[in-house]
Amino acid sequence: MVTFRQRCGLNYPRRRMGPKKKAGGGKKKKKDAPGKDIGILSALSTQEMTKEQLEQQVLQLREELKKEQEERNYFQLERDKIHTFWEITRKQLEEKRAEMRNKDKEMEDAEERHQVEIKVYKQKVKHLLFEQQNSLAEVQIDATVKMKVAEEKYRENEVQLRKHLNRRKLQMKEQEMASSDVVKNVKMKHTETMSHLRDDFNRQVSEIETKYKEKMHQLQEELKLQRKTDLHELEENKNGQINSLVKCHEKSFSDMKNYYNDITLNNLSVINTLKEQLQKSKKHEERMEREMLDLNVQKRQVVDRLEKAQGELVELRKDLENYTKDKRLLANNKVRIKVLEAEKKELKWEMEVLEQRFDKVEEERDELRGHFVTTLNEVQQCSNLQSIVLERKLAALETTLEKKDAQLDKVLSTCNLAPEDVTVVTQKVEDVLDYKNGAIKQLQFELARACKAHNDLLRAYKEKLAAQGLPQVCRRLGIIEVDYFGLHTVRNRSRIPSCWINLRNRLLPQLGSGWSGGVFRLHFKVKFFVEPHFLLQESTRWD
């Protein structure tokens, strides 16, 4: 059976009525549960139902109809509300679309105005670029004229410097002649000191040999006397002990012999009396046995002392063997002294070789000194010239900047630009100047960093020399000492370097590619070896 709810397509849960009590006389029929009645009624057709079942179904259908009518009214109200909301949102959407169309139109107008302003500014920028090109041409002409003047001055300075260099060479030759006399005097003093030291050393060696020979002879005599006295004392003690033991044994033997003779010679009648004497003799015998035991103990003690004496004799023999060993060591030490003397001769020969090499190093040092002084003066003069040129360039740039500012003010006044345009143009110019100033500061920072790297490299060079042990070897030999800038002689305390560092591979990459275009470049090189006479050095090369 199809209900009204199912026809409308509404699947809400259906409320079921409970069983209704029937009024009337006495008898009450027990009815089934509502779920069971609904299931039975839905399963049966109208023809198969009874009257009561049809009435019950009619009542249920009426209740469902009433509920469906209430729900229909509720849904109609909801539909009306939704329709009104939809109308209101549709009107609002149309209004917003109209506002969007107006905004699009305003944006198009603003874009057109913006394009017109851009064309005006482009024309103004073209005029400014043209004027800038003219001013750059003028500046380039002025710069070429100034460069020619600077080149002429540089040539004049170069001629003067060459003259000064020739004068310095003559002075250096005079100083070399004076220093050669000093070196000869120092060599003479050195040979005298070496001869004195050699004589003192030989005298000390002879004194030590005689001293220790006398001590060895005295020690041998003392050991011989001590050994003889010890042996004599041991012999006397042992002989005394042996004599005392022999006397005791002879006395006991004579007593026993007399006793047995008396027994054999006496009468048999005195046996009874002799029994008492026999008992006494037994007691005496026991006492003698005890004394024999004591004598055995004393004998053992004497034997132990004899063994100790024999042990001491063995130790004395070992001391004698040690004495022979010491004698052999003395002979070996004499041989070693001869070997050391031979080594001393070899070291003396090596010292002479080192002195010759030292002479060569001094000659190279003198050459490098002259070259270093001249190059140092050239560097100072070049740096002074460069600073003067830079100051003049800075003054010229300041004058050109003032001119450019005046020209810019004039251009702005002739163009009759608005105040906003003037501020924009000035702001751009200030931005360009700030960028240039930042680049100058960056270059200054890179220069400071390069100087720091140079100092760090010098410090690392000194630490490397110390790690290789070169300063200790040099100071021990008394030939050269180490400083930040290289190796110097002890005899001449001048700060003229004779060994350089290779800065090209480490310093130039940090300075950048533009640094190589400076006034000069230094090339250094150093080589580390174990021995100082293998040191190699190269003179400074200037580009």
pLDDT of residue 467: 77
Exposed, middle or buried: residue 457 (CB in 10 Å: 0-12, 13-18, 19+)? middle
Range of the domain at 453: 417-543
Q: Note down pLDDT in tens along the chain; length 543 residues.
A: 445 445 444 444 444 444 444 433 443 333 444 444 444 455 566 677 788 888 888 898 999 999 998 988 988 898 888 888 898 988 888 898 888 888 888 888 888 888 888 888 888 888 888 888 888 888 888 888 888 888 888 888 888 888 888 888 888 888 778 777 777 787 788 788 888 887 887 888 788 878 877 887 887 788 778 778 877 887 787 777 778 777 877 787 777 777 766 666 665 666 677 677 778 878 888 888 888 888 878 878 878 888 887 888 888 888 888 888 888 888 888 888 888 888 888 888 888 888 888 888 778 777 877 777 777 777 777 777 877 887 888 888 888 878 877 777 777 677 666 667 777 777 777 788 788 888 888 888 888 888 888 888 778 877 877 777 666 656 655 544 444 344 443 444 444 333 333 444 444 454 444 444 443 343 333 333 333 333 333 333 333
On whether both 421 and 316 belong to a single domain, the answer is no
Give the phi and the psi of residue 33 in degrees, each rounded to 5: -65, 155
Separation CA 61–CA 53 (nearest Å):
12
Separation CA 451–CA 5 (nearest Å):
99
Flag whether 105 is in a domain. Answer: yes
Neighbouring C-beta atoms of residue 316, cutoff 10 Å: 15
**What residue type is assigned to position 528 of the chain?**
F
pTM: 0.21
Flag whether 242 is in a domain. Answer: yes
Last residue of a domain, one of 88, 113, 138: 113
End-to-end Cα, the chain, rounded Å? 118
Flag whether 372 is in a domain. Answer: no
How do beta strands 486-489 and 522-523 pair? unpaired
CA 325 to chain CA centroid, nearest Å: 55
pLDDT of residue 471: 66
Flag whether 495 is in a domain. Answer: yes
The candidate with the shortest Cα–Cα distance to 220, out of 326, 329, 143, is: 326
Last residue of a domain, one of 323, 341, 359: 341
On whether both 439 and 542 belong to a single domain, the answer is yes
Last residue of a domain, one of 113, 143, 174: 113
On whether both 424 and 528 belong to a single domain, the answer is yes
pLDDT of residue 263: 65
On whether both 227 and 106 belong to a single domain, the answer is no
> Are 533 and 357 in contact, with CB atoms under 8 Å apart?
yes
On whether both 542 and 435 belong to a single domain, the answer is yes
Number of domains in the chain: 3
> Are 374 and 165 in contact, with CB atoms under 8 Å apart?
yes
Flag whether 388 is in a domain. Answer: no
Residue 480 is given by DSSP the state: E
pLDDT of residue 519: 38
pLDDT of residue 116: 85
**What residue type is assigned to position 479 of the chain?**
I
On whether both 429 and 535 belong to a single domain, the answer is yes
Flag whether 146 is in a domain. Answer: no
Give the phi and the psi of residue 15 in degrees, each rounded to 5: -85, 135
Flag whether 177 is in a domain. Answer: no
pLDDT of residue 475: 62
Flag whether 336 is in a domain. Answer: yes
On whether both 429 and 326 belong to a single domain, the answer is no
pLDDT of residue 236: 82
Exposed, middle or buried: residue 500 (CB in 10 Å: 0-12, 13-18, 19+)? buried
Separation CA 48–CA 46 (nearest Å):
5
On whether both 334 and 428 belong to a single domain, the answer is no
Q: Is the dihedral of CA 75, 80, 85, 87 positive or negative?
A: positive
Neighbouring C-beta atoms of residue 497, cutoff 10 Å: 20
pLDDT of residue 88: 92
